[in-house]
A and B are shown apart, each in its own frame.
Chain A
């Protein structure tokens, strides 16, 4: 059974703080994804990674960076958090890249930036 875990369920930060969101998967998946989910906008892809140290921008990368130093771990970094980054953040992983492959999601981190 694939398990994707995220470091926090709820997080409250102040404007300008550096924020790290961590995601770990235990199924040796090559590909990992970070999404944000906002009411009325659905899930939007921030970044994805198809291998260790490899990353690709998604649809809304501005204000975010990512790090993948180990296969099982994919981190999302908000260099200087802003109030418009208040959102639900979801991590996912998949065995193969491509929209025809099932993605397995973590429980989500609800981030509030004050």
Chain B
């Protein structure tokens, strides 16, 4: 079973700072998901990536398949970026399911 570790668990920063959230996993995979969960519960998918880098607005996700590691970066952070960020990857039951990290709670102060 794939083990997923996210760091840090909690992160507080000032508006405008560059943010990095990390995700490491134990079993090789070829794709990884980054999800965002705002207060109130709803989860949205930000990225699915299998190699290199993807960018969407101020969000950048990178993955290194060989090192079993992915990072989510936020440039010019804003209070509306405050949320829980979760990485997820295929694992278990023939990769039919997603295995989730515990999440990183990000708070951006104005």
**Is B74 in the interface zone, CB < 8 Å from A?**
no
Verify A107–B97 contact, CB threshold 8 A.
no
Verify B43–A99 contact, CB threshold 8 A.
no
Verify A99–B97 contact, CB threshold 8 A.
yes
A45-B97, A99-B96, A99-B97 are known contacts. Are A90 and B91 too (CB-CB below 8 A)? no
Give A97 to B95 CA distance when docked, in angstroms. Answer: 9
Q: How far is the CB of B88 from chain A (nearest CB, A)?
A: 8
Give A104 to B99 CA distance when docked, in angstroms. Answer: 15
Looking at chain A, what size class is its interface with the partner chain?
20 to 34
Verify A107–B91 contact, CB threshold 8 A.
no
Verify A42–B101 contact, CB threshold 8 A.
yes
Count of chain B residues with a beta carbon within 8 Å of a chain A beta carbon: 27
A40-B102, A41-B102, A42-B101 are known contacts. Are A103 and B45 too (CB-CB below 8 A)? yes
Give A91 to B102 CA distance when docked, in angstroms. Answer: 18
Q: How many A-B residue pairs have CB under 8 A?
A: 61
Q: How far is the CB of A10 from chain B (nearest CB, A)?
A: 10
Give A36 to B85 CA distance when docked, in angstroms. Answer: 17
**Is A55 in the interface zone, CB < 8 Å from B?**
no
**Is B108 in the interface zone, CB < 8 Å from A?**
no
Q: How far is the CB of A103 from chain B (nearest CB, A)?
A: 7
Verify B45–A108 contact, CB threshold 8 A.
no
- A42's partner among B29, B92, B96, B102 (CB-CB below 8 A) is B102
From A9, A40, A44, A103, name the one whose CB has the most chain B CB atoms within 10 angstroms.
A103
Residue of A nearest to B6 (CB): A42
In the complex, chain B residues whose CB is within 8 Å of the CB of A106: 42
The 3 A-B residue pairs with the shortest CB-CB distance in the complex, in nearest-first order:
A99-B90, A108-B41, A105-B43
Q: Which B residues lie at the A interface, using CB under 8 A? A: 29-31, 33, 40-45, 48, 86, 88-93, 95-103
